[in-house]
Amino acid sequence: MTSFFSAESASAFMKPWLRLERGLRLGRFRVFAEEYPDITTEERDILWRALVRFNDAKLLNTKQQIQYEEGKIVGIRGLKMIRGESGTTFKIETRPTKRTKVKEDSEVGGEKIDETIGA
pLDDT at 8: 62
| Residue 100 confidence (pLDDT) above 70 | no
Give the residue-averaged pLDDT of 12-27: 88
Any alpha helices (H) in the chain, and if so which ranges?
2-13, 22-35, 41-56
Tens digit of pLDDT for each residue in 43-89? 999 999 999 999 999 999 888 899 999 889 999 999 999 988 888 88
Phi then psi for residue 6, to 5 deg, are -70, -35
Q: Does residue 92 come out as left (phi exceeding 0), alpha (psi in the -120 to 50 range) or beta? A: beta
Bridge partners, residue 31, by sequence: none
Q: Predicted confidence band at 109 (pLDDT cuts at 50, 70, 90)?
A: very low
Distance (Å) of CA 48 to CA 52, 70, 96: 6, 20, 25
Q: Where are the domains of the chain?
A: 2-116
Q: Does residue 78 come out as left (phi exceeding 0), alpha (psi in the -120 to 50 range) or beta? A: left
Q: Predicted confidence band at 101 (pLDDT cuts at 50, 70, 90)?
A: low
pLDDT at 35: 94
The pTM score is: 0.71
